[in-house]
Amino acid sequence: MENKITKEQALKIAKFRDDEIHCFINAPMGLVGSNHTVDSFIQELNEAESIEIGVNMCRKMEHALVLWIKGVPFFFEHDEEKLKRMLKVKEKRK
């Protein structure tokens, strides 16, 4: 499965809560979580070298929206139902 997605698709599956979105990064001491504003998320989305859907553990943790920024993966919270619908549409187009 091709796991790269567009900025527009990323915005559709991003899970915002009260104008924020949760994110994990994999720091040397383990996962570190933080909340990002919608504006900072959009800025990071525009800076990302790659945008993709994480698999398995990322989806189970509901943080499968992966932005690669300066070689570092940022795992943003996603809406699983919206992601499933998007993936169904992508499969139908093949």
pLDDT tens by residue, 34-91: 999 999 999 999 999 999 999 889 999 999 999 999 999 999 999 999 999 998 988 8
Q: Which pLDDT value is given to residue 56?
A: 87
Q: Which pLDDT value is given to residue 91?
A: 82
User: Residue type at 37?
Assistant: T
**Tokens 């300066």, located at residue:** 70
Q: Which pLDDT value is given to residue 55?
A: 86
Distances in whole angstroms, Cα of residue 48 to Cα of each of 2, 51, 71? 18, 7, 9
- Alpha helix stretches (DSSP H) within 1-94: 7-13, 38-47, 57-60, 80-93
Q: Which pLDDT value is given to residue 1?
A: 45
Angle at 46 between CA 20 and CA 59, to 5 degrees: 55
Maximum separation of any 2 CA atoms in the chain, in Å:
41
pLDDT band at 92 (very low <50, low <70, confident <90, very high): confident
